[in-house]
Every structure is written in C-alpha cells, then in structure tokens.
Amino acid sequence: MKGRKLLMIPGPIEFEPDVLQAMGIATNSHVAPDFIETFGNSLELMRTVWKSPKGQPFIISGTGTLAMDMAISNLIESGDSVLVISSGYFGIRFKSILECYGAEVTVLEAPTGDVVSLDTIEEALKSKHYKALTMTHVDTSTGVLVDPKPIAHLAKKYNTLSILDGVCSVAGEEINQDDWSIDIVLTASQKAIGVPPGLALLMASEKAIQVWENRKTPVGNYYANWKNWLPIMKAYEERRPSYFGTPPVNLIVALEVSLKIICKEGINKRIKRHRYLAEAFRLGIEALHLKMLPVSNALAAHTLSAIYYPEGVDGASFSAKMNASDIIIAGGLLADIKSTYFRIGHMGSVSPNDLLAVLGALERALIELGYPIESGKSLHAFQNAIITN
C-alpha cells in the first residue's frame, strides 16, 4: 500500500473505488428524477441481496443500532415477551433496546465463543409464548457465526417473530430471508454491503408488516416509526418524489453502486468467496498455533476473525507493530476479556492479496515481540489453501 494504511477491522472496511467516487459527486436534490431512480433501484436491489422478493426494504439515515431500534420499536409493545439469543456484545444490546420499550426479556446467553443450542431455544419457546426472538448472525465482538435457518424455523413453529441482526453478515454470509421465514433482517452500510458508515438497512417480511399494522398501542418512537417511513419507501420504489426526512443523497448513490457490484458478482458467488478466504485465513492463523475465540471452526464467521493474543504478547505492542506495517486491526470488544484478543475483518471487496499482507505483518509483529514462530508458515498455509480451492 502506498500513502495509506490497509483497514482490516470489522467495519468500516476497504471500499471499492467506484463506491468512494460516488460519495464525491456533486450532491443532487433528494426529489430529482435521477435520484428517485437511484433510491428506487437500491430498494429493489436489496431484495436480491437479502433473497427476499416479498420483503419490504427500508433505507434510513443511521447506524446498525438504529436498524435494531427500528425493528424493536415497530414490532414490540410494552409487556410483550421477547427471547434474546445472545452470542456476544450485540445480543445484550438487543436486551437494552427491548427494555426501553417495556418488553419482558428472557436472555439465553451462550458461553464465550459458543452458541445457544437448538434444544435450549426450543425448551424456552415451549415454556411460554414469546412475541419475538432476536438472534445475531455474526456477533462482531466474538466472531461467532450462528445458523439462523433452524432458529427461524423454530420461531415459525411457535408463532414467534424472528429478528436477525445481520450487521456483520448481510452480503458476506448465506441468508435466504424468505425461504427461511425470517421476519426481519437488518444491517448497516459499512460492513459487507460495502458503503461508508451512515445507512441503516432493514428488510421486513409481510408478516412483520401485518403485526405492525395490527399493534394495539402507538409506536413509541418518532424517527424510527414505519408510519413515517413506509410511504417514503413505497413512493421511491414507484419512482415518485416524497419527503419525511432528507435522505443522505451521496450515501444512497454509493449504495446503488455497491449493490450493483454485489449483484454483478452474484450473491451466491460472493458468499462462496467470503467462505473460502476465511477458511484459508484460519489455516494461516492455525499454522502459527494461535487460538481463535470461536470454540470450533464450524462456529467461526466468514466476515471476521477473533483471535487470542499468544501468551506473553502484549496487545498494545502488537497493534502498534501492525499499525507500523500499515495494517489497521481492531482490539477486543467483550469487556471482561477485551485485552486478551484482537479482531481482523475480511469482508466486502477483500482479496487474497489483502490477507497475505495481513498475515505477513502479523508474522513480523509476533517475531519482533519474541513469539517463537517460523517465518512464512502462515503465508504458506494460506497460499496452499487458495491455490487448491
């Protein structure tokens, strides 16, 4: 890299040049015909990426937390029972949001690096009626991958809405929203969707919209209320001007560019690329005898890796040496163990060359800090996996 560092955190990520160029064009009117076309097309492209031809897409100025807030505030009323399936920091965030709206929350929390078993989830669903359950597809704090398909099927079996936090998974992990009967899939722009921070993206099922329409009490949120936003989404998709709040014009122009790039690659091919790069990267990490935070490779995300520092290696010194090699990584996020691990994002437009650069810098940092490894070992393992894929 010349002149700048390689950003390898779990979001924001490295963005495609065409996406960044779209951010820099002269800002258009939010009711100009060409912007209306861009917004409407972006909504339609979301259905392709989410695999939800029947879903209702929302594009809102905000973060992934706003998307979580939007899902909860529109579907949950005071006194509703909700089951939170937590595999890290962002499962607990769901709990905090739910409590703001008066929900009665039950949390099923997995041990660090693990997932809650399906049997445990079904036992909870059998014990009482829950209006909804929440799950985190990839928890950014742990790098743990949850399989949402069987959980969504259990939710449907027990007449419970399913809400999937796909902030670190949409466009990087396999999702078939309609086929899997997931009621809400939400994300943010700065992850595998490949757009700078600032957009909350959400897809609601027909059932979710019906539940919202039939709620007994008003939505306790003004900005996130679907009453205000649904007419806007419908208008843009019908190529008509409309207004509630001024949309972030350049971000939405960039979103259309990125969604077109994703669809040109093909969502299935894109998911496969994320998978084989992540698997090859893990082989490189394993070659250095480093331990991953997920308890097994089957539970390791394909969009980021959470890795424990080896014994005797100081995290701050390690990060400083990676930074000196022009690689930016993320530290730990879980409060009780945050100083014991680091995180590397590998999603969006990530390439084998990016990950070779990361592994090379990682080896140098560890050797300089006195960790006994054989130089080139992780690179060899990674290259072999890529070549034989």
Report the alpha-carbon distance of residue 183 to residue 126 in Å, rounded: 20
**Per-residue confidence (pLDDT) for residue 166, from 0 to 100:** 98
- So where are the chain's domains? 6-11+266-388, 17-265
Residue 358 in contact with residue 342, Cβ under 8 Å? no
Closest by Cα among 11, 58, 55 to 228: 58
Q: What is the pLDDT of residues 132-152, one digit of tens each?
A: 999 999 999 999 999 999 999
Q: What is the pLDDT of residues 87-138, one digit of tens each?
A: 999 999 999 999 999 999 999 999 999 999 999 999 999 999 999 999 999 9
Closest by Cα among 96, 95, 125, 122 to 109: 95
Q: What is the mean pLDDT of the chain?
A: 97
- CA separation, residue 167 to residues 193, 217, 249 (Å): 9, 29, 21
Taking domain 17-265, whether its CATH number is 1.10.1370.20 is answered by: no
Ramachandran region, residue 88 (left: φ > 0; alpha: ψ -120 to 50; beta: rest): left
Report the alpha-carbon distance of residue 187 to residue 363 in Å, rounded: 33
E strands, the chain, are 6-7, 56-61, 81-86, 104-109, 132-136, 138-139, 144-145, 161-165, 184-188, 199-204, 304-308, 327-328, 330-331, 341-345
What is the band of 2 on the pLDDT scale with cuts at 50, 70, 90?
low
β-sheet bridge partners, residue 60? 200
What is the band of 56 on the pLDDT scale with cuts at 50, 70, 90?
very high
Q: What is the pLDDT of residues 60-73, one digit of tens each?
A: 999 999 999 999 99
Instruction: Quickly tell me which residue has 């690179």 as its tokens.
Output: 379
**Per-residue confidence (pLDDT) for residue 4, from 0 to 100:** 87
What is the band of 1 on the pLDDT scale with cuts at 50, 70, 90?
very low
What is the band of 356 on the pLDDT scale with cuts at 50, 70, 90?
very high
Closest by Cα among 4, 11, 65, 1 to 345: 11
- Rounded average pLDDT over 192-215: 98
The yes-or-no verdict on residue 315 having pLDDT over 90 is yes
Looking at CATH, the fold of the domain delimited by 6-11+266-388 is given as Aspartate Aminotransferase, domain 1 (3.90.1150)
Residue 233 in contact with residue 57, Cβ under 8 Å? yes
Residue 389 in contact with residue 366, Cβ under 8 Å? no
Q: What is the distance in angstroms between the CA of the first residue and the CA of the last residue of the chain?
A: 26
Q: What is the pLDDT of residues 291-313, one digit of tens each?
A: 999 999 999 999 999 999 999 99
